[in-house]
Copies of this chain bind each other. A is one copy, B any other.
Amino acid sequence: MTTKRPTIRDVAALAGVSVATVSRVLSGDYPVAGATRTRVQRAVRDLDYVVNAHARALSGATSKVVAIVMFNVTTPFYAHIAAGVEAQAAEADRLCLVCTTGGDPDRELEIVKLMREQHADAVILVGGVTMTDDYRERMHRYAKALEDANSRLVLCGRPAPSPDFPAVTVEYDNVGGAYAATSHLLSVGHRRIAFLGGAVGNTTFDGRDTGYRRAMAAFGATVDPALVSHHGSLGPEYGFARVGELLAAGTDFTAIFAVNDHVAAGAIRALRAAGKRVPDDVSIIGYDDTPFAPDLSTPLTSVHLPHDELGRTAVRLALQRTGPARQHVMLGTHITMRDSVRPLV
Protein backbone atom coordinates (compact mmCIF):
# COMPACT_ATOMS: atom_id res chain seq x y z
CA MET A 1 0.00 0.00 0.00
CA THR A 2 0.87 3.61 0.47
CA THR A 3 2.16 4.07 -3.04
CA LYS A 4 4.57 6.90 -3.37
CA ARG A 5 2.80 10.16 -4.08
CA PRO A 6 3.64 11.94 -7.30
CA THR A 7 5.77 15.04 -6.92
CA ILE A 8 6.10 18.12 -8.99
CA ARG A 9 8.99 16.40 -10.73
CA ASP A 10 6.76 13.60 -11.94
CA VAL A 11 4.33 16.11 -13.31
CA ALA A 12 7.12 17.96 -15.06
CA ALA A 13 8.43 14.77 -16.61
CA LEU A 14 5.03 13.71 -17.84
CA ALA A 15 4.25 17.12 -19.26
CA GLY A 16 7.72 17.40 -20.78
CA VAL A 17 8.52 20.68 -19.05
CA SER A 18 10.65 21.80 -16.14
CA VAL A 19 9.52 21.80 -12.55
CA ALA A 20 9.67 25.56 -12.56
CA THR A 21 7.02 25.69 -15.21
CA VAL A 22 4.77 23.34 -13.31
CA SER A 23 5.13 25.44 -10.21
CA ARG A 24 4.24 28.53 -12.21
CA VAL A 25 1.16 26.96 -13.69
CA LEU A 26 0.03 25.84 -10.25
CA SER A 27 0.68 29.14 -8.54
CA GLY A 28 -1.17 31.14 -11.16
CA ASP A 29 0.03 34.63 -11.88
CA TYR A 30 3.01 34.12 -14.14
CA PRO A 31 3.04 34.13 -17.92
CA VAL A 32 2.92 30.59 -19.23
CA ALA A 33 1.98 29.79 -22.82
CA GLY A 34 -1.52 28.40 -23.21
CA ALA A 35 -0.43 25.12 -24.73
CA THR A 36 2.14 24.47 -22.03
CA ARG A 37 -0.33 25.33 -19.32
CA THR A 38 -2.84 22.85 -20.71
CA ARG A 39 -0.28 20.12 -20.95
CA VAL A 40 0.74 20.64 -17.34
CA GLN A 41 -2.83 20.65 -16.13
CA ARG A 42 -3.45 17.41 -17.94
CA ALA A 43 -0.45 15.83 -16.31
CA VAL A 44 -1.64 17.02 -12.92
CA ARG A 45 -5.02 15.44 -13.48
CA ASP A 46 -3.61 12.21 -14.85
CA LEU A 47 -1.26 11.78 -11.94
CA ASP A 48 -3.82 12.97 -9.40
CA TYR A 49 -1.14 15.27 -8.14
CA VAL A 50 -1.60 17.55 -5.16
CA VAL A 51 1.06 19.90 -3.87
CA ASN A 52 2.73 19.25 -0.58
CA ALA A 53 1.74 22.13 1.68
CA HIS A 54 4.78 21.66 3.87
CA ALA A 55 7.21 21.86 1.01
CA ARG A 56 5.42 24.93 -0.25
CA ALA A 57 5.42 26.60 3.14
CA LEU A 58 9.04 25.71 3.68
CA SER A 59 10.19 27.27 0.49
CA GLY A 60 9.08 30.68 1.50
CA ALA A 61 5.44 30.88 0.63
CA THR A 62 2.89 31.55 3.36
CA SER A 63 1.38 28.71 5.34
CA LYS A 64 -2.27 29.42 4.60
CA VAL A 65 -3.30 28.67 8.14
CA VAL A 66 -4.99 30.87 10.70
CA ALA A 67 -5.07 29.72 14.29
CA ILE A 68 -7.74 30.54 16.79
CA VAL A 69 -7.02 30.12 20.45
CA MET A 70 -9.89 30.17 22.89
CA PHE A 71 -11.32 28.91 26.15
CA ASN A 72 -13.36 26.09 24.69
CA VAL A 73 -15.34 25.23 21.64
CA THR A 74 -18.74 24.37 23.08
CA THR A 75 -19.82 27.59 24.73
CA PRO A 76 -22.02 29.39 22.19
CA PHE A 77 -20.08 32.58 22.70
CA TYR A 78 -16.83 31.01 21.54
CA ALA A 79 -18.43 28.73 19.03
CA HIS A 80 -19.94 31.66 17.16
CA ILE A 81 -16.74 33.60 17.10
CA ALA A 82 -14.98 30.51 15.83
CA ALA A 83 -17.60 30.19 13.14
CA GLY A 84 -16.90 33.73 12.00
CA VAL A 85 -13.20 33.09 11.95
CA GLU A 86 -13.59 29.85 10.08
CA ALA A 87 -15.89 31.39 7.51
CA GLN A 88 -13.65 34.35 6.82
CA ALA A 89 -10.58 32.16 6.76
CA ALA A 90 -12.23 29.89 4.21
CA GLU A 91 -13.06 32.90 2.06
CA ALA A 92 -9.43 33.92 2.20
CA ASP A 93 -8.47 30.41 1.21
CA ARG A 94 -7.07 29.59 4.61
CA LEU A 95 -7.34 26.62 6.87
CA CYS A 96 -8.31 27.06 10.48
CA LEU A 97 -6.40 25.57 13.38
CA VAL A 98 -8.49 25.51 16.56
CA CYS A 99 -6.85 25.30 19.96
CA THR A 100 -8.49 25.42 23.35
CA THR A 101 -6.90 26.55 26.58
CA GLY A 102 -9.54 25.77 29.18
CA GLY A 103 -8.49 29.08 30.66
CA ASP A 104 -5.01 27.91 31.53
CA PRO A 105 -2.48 30.66 30.81
CA ASP A 106 0.36 28.17 30.65
CA ARG A 107 -1.49 26.23 28.02
CA GLU A 108 -1.91 29.47 26.13
CA LEU A 109 1.83 29.98 26.26
CA GLU A 110 2.42 26.50 24.98
CA ILE A 111 -0.04 26.96 22.14
CA VAL A 112 1.55 30.17 21.02
CA LYS A 113 4.83 28.34 20.85
CA LEU A 114 3.23 25.65 18.76
CA MET A 115 1.89 28.33 16.45
CA ARG A 116 5.37 29.61 15.97
CA GLU A 117 6.42 26.15 14.94
CA GLN A 118 3.54 26.01 12.52
CA HIS A 119 4.20 29.45 11.09
CA ALA A 120 0.49 30.16 11.21
CA ASP A 121 0.02 33.36 9.30
CA ALA A 122 -2.45 34.61 11.83
CA VAL A 123 -3.00 33.82 15.48
CA ILE A 124 -6.23 34.98 17.03
CA LEU A 125 -6.52 35.05 20.79
CA VAL A 126 -10.16 35.12 21.75
CA GLY A 127 -11.93 36.24 24.87
CA GLY A 128 -11.49 38.41 27.91
CA VAL A 129 -8.73 37.77 30.34
CA THR A 130 -7.69 38.80 33.79
CA MET A 131 -4.79 41.15 33.26
CA THR A 132 -2.10 40.52 35.79
CA ASP A 133 1.32 42.07 35.42
CA ASP A 134 2.68 38.67 34.68
CA TYR A 135 0.15 38.28 31.92
CA ARG A 136 1.12 41.61 30.41
CA GLU A 137 4.78 40.76 30.39
CA ARG A 138 4.26 37.32 29.04
CA MET A 139 1.88 38.40 26.30
CA HIS A 140 4.36 40.96 25.18
CA ARG A 141 6.93 38.24 24.68
CA TYR A 142 4.44 36.09 22.80
CA ALA A 143 3.52 38.90 20.52
CA LYS A 144 7.11 39.81 19.75
CA ALA A 145 7.98 36.24 18.96
CA LEU A 146 5.03 35.89 16.68
CA GLU A 147 5.86 39.11 14.90
CA ASP A 148 9.36 37.81 14.34
CA ALA A 149 7.89 34.62 13.01
CA ASN A 150 6.07 36.79 10.52
CA SER A 151 2.64 35.95 11.89
CA ARG A 152 0.03 38.50 12.78
CA LEU A 153 -1.39 38.38 16.26
CA VAL A 154 -4.95 39.53 16.83
CA LEU A 155 -6.58 40.03 20.19
CA CYS A 156 -10.26 39.38 19.82
CA GLY A 157 -12.56 40.60 22.56
CA ARG A 158 -9.74 41.79 24.74
CA PRO A 159 -7.81 45.07 24.70
CA ALA A 160 -4.10 45.25 24.06
CA PRO A 161 -2.06 45.37 27.25
CA SER A 162 -0.30 48.50 26.05
CA PRO A 163 -0.57 50.91 23.12
CA ASP A 164 2.68 49.78 21.51
CA PHE A 165 1.65 46.16 21.74
CA PRO A 166 2.53 44.40 18.48
CA ALA A 167 -0.96 43.21 17.69
CA VAL A 168 -4.24 44.24 16.26
CA THR A 169 -7.28 44.19 18.50
CA VAL A 170 -10.95 43.92 17.80
CA GLU A 171 -13.41 44.22 20.64
CA TYR A 172 -17.10 44.54 21.25
CA ASP A 173 -18.34 47.31 23.44
CA ASN A 174 -18.91 45.86 26.91
CA VAL A 175 -19.44 49.19 28.59
CA GLY A 176 -21.90 50.27 25.93
CA GLY A 177 -23.82 47.02 25.99
CA ALA A 178 -24.16 46.98 29.74
CA TYR A 179 -25.10 50.63 29.70
CA ALA A 180 -27.82 49.97 27.15
CA ALA A 181 -29.16 46.98 29.06
CA THR A 182 -29.29 48.79 32.36
CA SER A 183 -30.73 51.90 30.75
CA HIS A 184 -33.45 49.80 29.19
CA LEU A 185 -34.46 48.53 32.60
CA LEU A 186 -34.22 52.00 34.10
CA SER A 187 -36.21 53.63 31.35
CA VAL A 188 -39.20 51.43 32.01
CA GLY A 189 -39.18 52.37 35.64
CA HIS A 190 -36.91 49.91 37.42
CA ARG A 191 -34.55 51.31 40.06
CA ARG A 192 -33.73 48.34 42.28
CA ILE A 193 -31.71 46.44 39.71
CA ALA A 194 -29.58 43.52 40.82
CA PHE A 195 -26.33 42.99 38.94
CA LEU A 196 -25.01 39.46 38.62
CA GLY A 197 -21.43 40.20 37.57
CA GLY A 198 -18.48 38.13 36.40
CA ALA A 199 -14.92 37.85 37.62
CA VAL A 200 -13.33 41.05 38.94
CA GLY A 201 -10.25 42.08 37.01
CA ASN A 202 -11.36 40.45 33.83
CA THR A 203 -11.41 43.00 31.05
CA THR A 204 -14.73 41.82 29.71
CA PHE A 205 -16.62 41.77 32.97
CA ASP A 206 -15.11 44.93 34.33
CA GLY A 207 -16.49 46.69 31.28
CA ARG A 208 -19.98 45.38 31.92
CA ASP A 209 -19.73 46.48 35.54
CA THR A 210 -18.77 49.95 34.45
CA GLY A 211 -21.66 50.15 32.01
CA TYR A 212 -24.10 49.13 34.73
CA ARG A 213 -22.83 51.76 37.14
CA ARG A 214 -22.73 54.53 34.57
CA ALA A 215 -26.31 53.89 33.57
CA MET A 216 -27.45 53.83 37.16
CA ALA A 217 -25.69 57.12 37.76
CA ALA A 218 -27.09 58.66 34.61
CA PHE A 219 -30.60 57.93 35.82
CA GLY A 220 -29.86 59.10 39.33
CA ALA A 221 -30.34 55.63 40.75
CA THR A 222 -28.12 54.53 43.58
CA VAL A 223 -26.20 51.28 43.35
CA ASP A 224 -27.02 49.19 46.40
CA PRO A 225 -23.94 47.05 47.13
CA ALA A 226 -26.27 44.35 48.43
CA LEU A 227 -27.58 43.97 44.90
CA VAL A 228 -24.22 43.63 43.24
CA SER A 229 -22.25 40.37 43.09
CA HIS A 230 -19.26 39.08 41.21
CA HIS A 231 -18.37 35.53 40.47
CA GLY A 232 -15.95 33.74 38.20
CA SER A 233 -18.25 30.87 37.31
CA LEU A 234 -20.50 31.84 34.48
CA GLY A 235 -22.88 28.90 34.76
CA PRO A 236 -26.55 28.74 35.72
CA GLU A 237 -25.64 27.59 39.25
CA TYR A 238 -24.27 31.00 39.98
CA GLY A 239 -27.47 32.74 38.92
CA PHE A 240 -29.58 30.21 40.75
CA ALA A 241 -27.62 30.43 43.98
CA ARG A 242 -27.24 34.18 43.98
CA VAL A 243 -30.91 34.89 43.36
CA GLY A 244 -31.73 32.35 46.07
CA GLU A 245 -29.59 34.38 48.48
CA LEU A 246 -31.19 37.63 47.48
CA LEU A 247 -34.63 36.17 47.97
CA ALA A 248 -33.73 34.58 51.29
CA ALA A 249 -32.24 37.82 52.56
CA GLY A 250 -35.43 39.58 51.62
CA THR A 251 -33.51 42.17 49.64
CA ASP A 252 -35.88 44.17 47.54
CA PHE A 253 -35.36 44.23 43.75
CA THR A 254 -37.58 44.42 40.68
CA ALA A 255 -35.09 43.60 37.96
CA ILE A 256 -31.90 41.68 37.26
CA PHE A 257 -29.08 42.31 34.84
CA ALA A 258 -27.10 39.13 34.40
CA VAL A 259 -23.58 38.96 33.02
CA ASN A 260 -24.60 36.31 30.52
CA ASP A 261 -27.54 34.19 29.42
CA HIS A 262 -26.52 31.11 31.34
CA VAL A 263 -26.51 33.02 34.57
CA ALA A 264 -29.82 34.56 33.61
CA ALA A 265 -31.27 31.10 33.01
CA GLY A 266 -30.22 30.05 36.49
CA ALA A 267 -31.73 33.21 37.93
CA ILE A 268 -35.03 32.52 36.24
CA ARG A 269 -34.98 29.02 37.63
CA ALA A 270 -34.51 30.37 41.13
CA LEU A 271 -37.22 32.96 40.66
CA ARG A 272 -39.73 30.36 39.50
CA ALA A 273 -38.73 27.99 42.24
CA ALA A 274 -39.60 30.72 44.70
CA GLY A 275 -42.98 31.26 43.07
CA LYS A 276 -42.05 34.53 41.39
CA ARG A 277 -43.26 35.17 37.87
CA VAL A 278 -40.99 36.45 35.13
CA PRO A 279 -41.36 39.15 34.00
CA ASP A 280 -44.50 40.02 36.00
CA ASP A 281 -42.74 40.06 39.34
CA VAL A 282 -39.13 40.43 38.27
CA SER A 283 -37.72 41.61 34.96
CA ILE A 284 -34.46 40.18 33.70
CA ILE A 285 -32.00 40.85 30.95
CA GLY A 286 -29.10 38.70 29.88
CA TYR A 287 -25.94 39.08 27.82
CA ASP A 288 -24.69 37.25 24.71
CA ASP A 289 -28.07 36.60 23.10
CA THR A 290 -27.39 32.89 23.01
CA PRO A 291 -29.37 30.84 20.50
CA PHE A 292 -31.44 29.21 23.23
CA ALA A 293 -32.53 32.59 24.66
CA PRO A 294 -35.87 32.58 22.80
CA ASP A 295 -36.68 29.10 24.06
CA LEU A 296 -36.15 29.66 27.75
CA SER A 297 -39.17 29.45 30.05
CA THR A 298 -39.40 33.18 29.55
CA PRO A 299 -37.97 34.25 26.23
CA LEU A 300 -35.01 36.27 27.36
CA THR A 301 -34.22 39.83 26.43
CA SER A 302 -30.47 39.95 25.95
CA VAL A 303 -27.57 42.05 24.76
CA HIS A 304 -26.59 40.84 21.32
CA LEU A 305 -22.92 40.61 20.51
CA PRO A 306 -21.52 40.74 16.98
CA HIS A 307 -19.91 37.31 17.38
CA ASP A 308 -19.67 36.51 13.76
CA GLU A 309 -18.43 39.94 12.78
CA LEU A 310 -15.92 39.80 15.57
CA GLY A 311 -14.40 36.63 14.18
CA ARG A 312 -14.48 37.83 10.62
CA THR A 313 -12.95 41.18 11.42
CA ALA A 314 -10.19 39.51 13.36
CA VAL A 315 -9.22 37.45 10.34
CA ARG A 316 -9.54 40.36 7.97
CA LEU A 317 -7.31 42.52 10.13
CA ALA A 318 -4.76 39.77 10.45
CA LEU A 319 -4.60 39.04 6.76
CA GLN A 320 -4.54 42.54 5.46
CA ARG A 321 -0.80 42.94 5.54
CA THR A 322 -0.91 46.49 4.25
CA GLY A 323 -1.86 49.44 6.39
CA PRO A 324 -0.99 50.12 10.01
CA ALA A 325 0.51 47.16 11.82
CA ARG A 326 -1.36 47.98 15.00
CA GLN A 327 -4.93 49.00 15.00
CA HIS A 328 -7.99 48.83 17.07
CA VAL A 329 -11.57 48.15 16.10
CA MET A 330 -14.54 48.41 18.42
CA LEU A 331 -17.76 46.71 17.40
CA GLY A 332 -21.14 47.81 18.71
CA THR A 333 -23.81 45.76 20.44
CA HIS A 334 -27.56 45.99 20.61
CA ILE A 335 -30.39 44.64 22.72
CA THR A 336 -32.59 41.88 21.36
CA MET A 337 -35.97 42.44 22.95
CA ARG A 338 -38.03 39.49 24.07
CA ASP A 339 -40.44 38.97 26.92
CA SER A 340 -38.38 39.05 30.05
CA VAL A 341 -38.71 42.76 30.76
CA ARG A 342 -41.97 44.38 31.86
CA PRO A 343 -42.47 48.10 32.63
CA LEU A 344 -42.90 48.89 36.28
CA VAL A 345 -46.29 50.53 36.71
Chain B residues near A79: list those with CB within 8 A. Answer: 73-74, 79
Interface: A200 (CB within 8 A): no
Instruction: Give CA–CA (A86, B292) in the complex, Å.
Output: 24
Among the stretches A27-35, A50-58, A130-138, the one at the interface with B is: A50-58
Which residues of A from 112 to 162 have beta carbons under 8 Å from B? 113-114, 116-119, 145, 147-150
Contact of B58 with A148 in the complex, beta carbons under 8 Å:
no
Contact of A58 with B50 in the complex, beta carbons under 8 Å:
no
Instruction: Give CA–CA (A148, B49) in the complex, Å.
Output: 12
Interface: A336 (CB within 8 A): no
Copy number in the complex reads: 2
Among the stretches A17-25, A95-103, A180-188, A247-255, the one at the interface with B is: A95-103
Chain B residues near A73: list those with CB within 8 A. Answer: 73, 79, 82-83, 86
Contact of A3 with B148 in the complex, beta carbons under 8 Å:
yes
Interface: A242 (CB within 8 A): no
Closest Cβ of chain B: how far from A144's Cβ, in Å? 10
Chain B residues near A291: list those with CB within 8 A. Answer: 74
Instruction: Give CA–CA (A96, B114) in the complex, Å.
Output: 12
Contact of B83 with A74 in the complex, beta carbons under 8 Å:
yes
Chain B residues near A52: list those with CB within 8 A. Answer: 58, 117, 119
Interface: A302 (CB within 8 A): no
When C-beta atoms are compared, the residue in chain B nearest to A51 turns out to be B117
Identify 19 new A-B residue pairs, CB closer than 8 A, beyond the known A2-B148, A54-B118, A90-B100. Answer: A5-B148, A48-B145, A52-B119, A53-B54, A55-B58, A73-B83, A74-B79, A74-B80, A90-B99, A95-B99, A95-B114, A96-B97, A97-B97, A268-B295, A290-B292, A292-B295, A292-B296, A296-B296, A297-B298
